Amino acid sequence: MGAINHSAPLIDVFTVYSMIFVDFTAALLAWLAVLGVQPLCAAYAFRLDREKYRYLLMMPLQQLANRQMMYLVLIHS
């Protein structure tokens, strides 16, 4: 999921652009679909590693913090 994490700022920019200039509903549904796929892939990885699913509850907080760090790195570069 490293490629998804590194492209997250770009996905956010395209989503905001699409919401403003193209089709708000379609862009929102596509963004929600991407957000929905991430926990499914993580749950599958947890299943393969036989990890406890309760750790998935931390995933939204981790993604929020990671995304903010990616924005900071992008701005400073």
pLDDT at 46: 92
pLDDT at 69: 80
pLDDT at 4: 53
Mean pLDDT of successive 10-residue segments in the chain (77 residues)? 59 80 86 85 92 87 78 78
From CA 13, how far away is CA 19, in angstroms rounded?
Answer: 10
pLDDT at 7: 65
